[in-house]
Every structure is written in structure tokens, then in C-alpha cells.
Copies of this chain bind each other. A is one copy, B any other.
Amino acid sequence: MMRLYDFLDSGNGYKVRLLLNQLGRTFELVLMDIDRGETRTEAFLRINPNGRIPVLEISPERRLSESNAILFYLAEGTPFLPEGAFERAQVLQWMNFEQYSHEPNVATPRYWIRHGLMKEDKAPLLEQKRKQGYAALDVMEGHLSGKNFLVAGQYTIADICLYAYTHVAEEGGFDLSAYPALEIWLERIRNHPGHVPITWQP
């Protein structure tokens, strides 16, 4: 059975748990407490030298890190990843947008707030992240206006990827009330068969 090293508050980990459930795949969940440094121990650094969850252990010799790479691996050959080369590249485009323009700005403030790291010296950086986070949400809002899903008119791992931290953006102080297309899209993702909340575990 596959094993997933994860942390229940992590949107990156949630992406993988959500897809695994929607694929009907069974897996063993190994919870790591990142607040207690459990992903920085010598033992865990042998599992992922970059010291981060999620990690999918396919077999004792085959491990994958980076949530979006794991999503792609699991979705290959399923309806969660389109078959056309251009559509697949569009899925990757949105997942790269998420890791570069969205997650560091939308997810990080939520992490600081929830893990007691929101000290005063972070104020200038928070302001910058707020601005860039709203810019990323603007790009999504513009793209989703008049569309049901991000790519190819179908629910794909691009939607799972961007749902993960967008649906909890308000926990990081973002106000989504001026983003109607985004709110309808979030509701559409929530209503997709097999949807589970961020803290779900098998």
C-alpha cells in the first residue's frame, strides 16, 4: 500500500489526500508535526532531503516529493488529467502559477497566523505578500469568469491544486467577497463527487 507523509493543516498535503480519495485509492497516512520539527529530523531528511511534506512513498525505493509532481503522477491515465499535449501543459502552467505566484503569497500569511509566527517584523513582508496574493487571485478571477474549471472545461488536478489554498485564503486575511467567479468556482469544486475537507484522513 502507498504511504503518504503529511500534515493535516497543509494545503499542499490536502491536494494529494483529496485526489487519492477521488481516485478511490487506499493509502497509509503518516502524520508529521511540522511545528515540532518532525520534517527536519535526520530520519525524515533521508525520506525527503528538502525536509518538506507531502511525500508519497510508492515503494521503499520509490518516493516522490512536491505536491504538484505527486498529483501529476497519480492523475496520469485518469480523467483528472486531460490527454491532449496542450491541455496537459495548461494544467502544468496553472500548477506552476500556484507554486510561484499564489502559494508563497496566499498560503504563507495563513501559515504565519495559524502557527504563531505573525511577529511585527514581518509587517513589510506581509504587505508585499498581500499585494502579490491579491494579484494572483485577480489572475484566477479573470480566467474563471465564464468558465467552469481552469483547463479544458473539466475538473482536473489544476483545480485541486489551486483550490487547496484558495479555499482557506480568508484564514490568511484575504477577503474574497470581490471575487464572484472565484467563489462560484470554489463552490463547484466543493460539490464535486468525492470531495473531502482539508483535515480529512482515511
Which residues in A have some Cβ–Cβ distance to B below 8 Å? Answer: 49-50, 58, 62, 64-70, 72-73, 76, 85-86, 88-90, 92-93, 95-97, 99-101, 103-104, 121, 124-125, 136, 139, 142-143
Question: Could you write out 30 A-B pairs with CB less than 8 Å apart?
Answer: A49-B139, A50-B97, A50-B139, A64-B89, A64-B90, A64-B93, A65-B93, A65-B97, A66-B93, A66-B96, A66-B97, A68-B96, A69-B89, A69-B90, A69-B92, A69-B95, A69-B96, A70-B89, A72-B92, A73-B86, A73-B88, A76-B85, A76-B88, A92-B92, A96-B96, A96-B99, A99-B100, A100-B100, A104-B104, A121-B124
Bound Cα distance A97, B85 (Å)? 23
Residues of B with C-beta under 8 A to A64: 86, 89-90, 93
- Do A66 and B92 touch across chains, with their CB atoms under 8 A apart? yes
Residues of B with C-beta under 8 A to A72: 88-89, 92
Name which residue of chain B comes closest to A48, CB basis.
Answer: B139
Give the copy number.
2
Residues of B with C-beta under 8 A to A86: 58, 62, 64, 73
Closest Cβ of chain B to A173, distance in Å, is 20
- Do B104 and A92 touch across chains, with their CB atoms under 8 A apart? no
Identify A50's interface contact among B50, B68, B101, CB under 8 A: B101
- Do A69 and B93 touch across chains, with their CB atoms under 8 A apart? yes
Residues of B with C-beta under 8 A to A85: 73, 76
Residues of B with C-beta under 8 A to A99: 96, 99-100
In the A-B complex, list the 10 residue pairs whose CB atoms are closest, starting with the nearest: A73-B89, A66-B96, A69-B92, A69-B93, A66-B93, A99-B100, A99-B99, A49-B139, A69-B89, A50-B139
